[in-house]
């Protein structure tokens, strides 16, 4: 059997259960339409990833697979994808936002046998590993984790605008980072690879469409996902920029920024009380 896998996805669910379930059904409809049958739910760990997974599992079509995970933000502000074969990952209290350094995060994932990889190392966001650490430190941590996201389509709806001739001159460096996010240079792969992740990083059903194909030989699917070292990539392509979707994405990004700031303030108050 062939499994088309999205390693990086955000349900971005509304608060009300009925609306959240309806959103999950739309998400699954989009996945089925794109012929994607395996999803790792990696909601931000400051946005209740357990609820996101639970509702995605509850609404899952019978022929699809879903695995629990999160996009964990470390004390340094670096994004790391962490996932597991079962939802015991959500009972690991240490994986609170900004609660662990990157070193501590790696140790916790090793102790609990969680899968872990560095997300979008070149992302325009400040949470990308290369921006936070610089190349030398990036490789130091990369070769401890031995896994990285090599394809992320979070900017695929934006790229048509940024590649216009007059924009290229203004955003030359950012355009380079966007291309490196879409396709990570092989020179930025780990020396010894555990697995290579491919993710849509979708926050809206219309952004779904990037995945990698794993041909199952009947073995444990999860084990194949965490040992996939040569993924065949299918990328979501926007023939032209969807302006409405771009506005929605900007709105989502802004409110995620607010939630992230609140989570950081909360942990800082906790540190202050403990000091």
pTM for the complete prediction? 0.94
Number of domains comprising the chain: 1
Q: What percent of the chain has pLDDT over 70?
A: 97
Instruction: Give dist(CA 95, CA 90) in Å, integer.
Output: 8
pLDDT tens digit sequence for 253-273: 999 999 998 888 877 666 555
The CA–CA distances, whole Å, from 62 to 13, 85, 134, 252 equal 21, 18, 44, 30
Segment 165-189 shows an average pLDDT of: 91
Residue 180's domain spans which residues?
A: 2-274
Q: Phi and psi at residue 258, in whole multiples of 5°? A: -65, -45
| 170: CATH | 3.20.20
pLDDT tens digit sequence for 211-267: 999 987 777 999 999 999 999 999 999 999 999 999 999 999 999 999 998 888 877
């Amino acid at each position: 059997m062939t499994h088309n896998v999205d390693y990086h996805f955000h349900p971005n669910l509304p608060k009300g259960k009925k609306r959240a379930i309806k959103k999950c059904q739309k998400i699954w409809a989009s996945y089925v339409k794109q012929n994607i049958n395996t999803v790792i739910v990696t909601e931000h760990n400051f946005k209740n990833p357990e609820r996101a997974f639970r509702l995605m599992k509850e609404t899952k079509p019978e022929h699809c697979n879903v695995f629990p995970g999160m996009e964990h933000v470390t004390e340094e502000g670096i994004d790391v994808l962490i996932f597991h074969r079962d939802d015991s990952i959500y009972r690991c209290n240490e994986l609170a936002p900004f609660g662990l350094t990157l070193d501590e995060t790696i140790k916790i994932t090793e102790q609990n046998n969680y899968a872990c990889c560095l997300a979008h190392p070149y992302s325009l966001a400040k949470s990308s590993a290369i921006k936070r650490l610089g190349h030398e430190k990036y490789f130091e941590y990369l070769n401890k984790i031995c896994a990285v996201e090599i394809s992320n389509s979070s900017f695929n709806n934006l790229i048509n605008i940024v590649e216009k001739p007059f924009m290229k001159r203004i955003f030359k460096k950012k355009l380079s980072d966007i291309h490196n996010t879409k396709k990570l240079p092989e020179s930025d792969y780990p020396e010894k690879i555990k697995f290579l992740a491919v993710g849509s990083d979708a926050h809206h059903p219309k952004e779904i469409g990037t995945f990698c194909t794993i041909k199952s030989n009947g073995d444990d699917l999860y084990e194949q996902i965490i040992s996939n070292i040569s993924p065949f990539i299918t990328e979501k392509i926007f023939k032209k920029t969807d302006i409405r979707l771009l506005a929605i994405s900007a709105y989502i990004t802004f409110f995620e920024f607010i939630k992230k700031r609140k989570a950081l303030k909360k942990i800082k108050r906790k540190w202050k009380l403990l000091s």
